[in-house]
Amino acid sequence: MRKSQKGFSLIELLIVVAIILIISAIAIPSLIGSRMAANEASAVASLRTINTGEVTYNNTYPGTFAALSSLGPDSPGCPNPSAANACLIDNVLANATTAATAKSGYMFNINATAGTYTSEAEPANQNSTGTRGFCSDQDMDLFYVAVGGGFSTCTTANATPL
């Protein structure tokens, strides 16, 4: 007489694995899209933070705008704000200039002159961390370009307003 076996058969396990793979194939692309959308929203919020920092910097040091690193702190707690380290943005954003130091998948740059500035955000990995580049200027208007490709591609002259 044969004992009844406990557990699952190989066929039953294969069916469960196949169902999990099908569900994963459907869900993963939307999760990646959601992550890129979140990265883009974070980049826009960071540009708004940079704009606020630039306005404050210009009010504190009239007639000038700061480079990205100058808006950040010189040390934790920022005991001595100065024109070189104004302590207006956090250290992560102030140093997010390369793919290795990117903030939420985006790199940032500021082109500052005496009376104007342009701040830019570009995906660290195109089509992986984001699909659009963003920029803003001293008028605090936000723009985007559909395809990133370097900090010089998003200018207020060739970009679409947000």
Domain boundary assignment for the chain: 11-161
Rg (CA), the chain: 23
pTM value is 0.81
Is the Cα torsion angle 108, 51, 65, 76 positive or negative in sign? negative
| Digit-coded pLDDT (tens) for 7-53 | 888 999 999 999 999 999 888 888 888 999 999 999 999 999 999 99
- The per-residue DSSP string of 42-70 comes to HHHHHHHHHHHHHHHHHHHSTT----HHH
- pLDDT lower than 70: segments of the chain: 1-3, 147-157
Q: Angle 90-147-37 (CA atoms, 0-180°, nearest 5)?
A: 55
**Dist. CA 130–CA 27, nearest whole Å:** 18
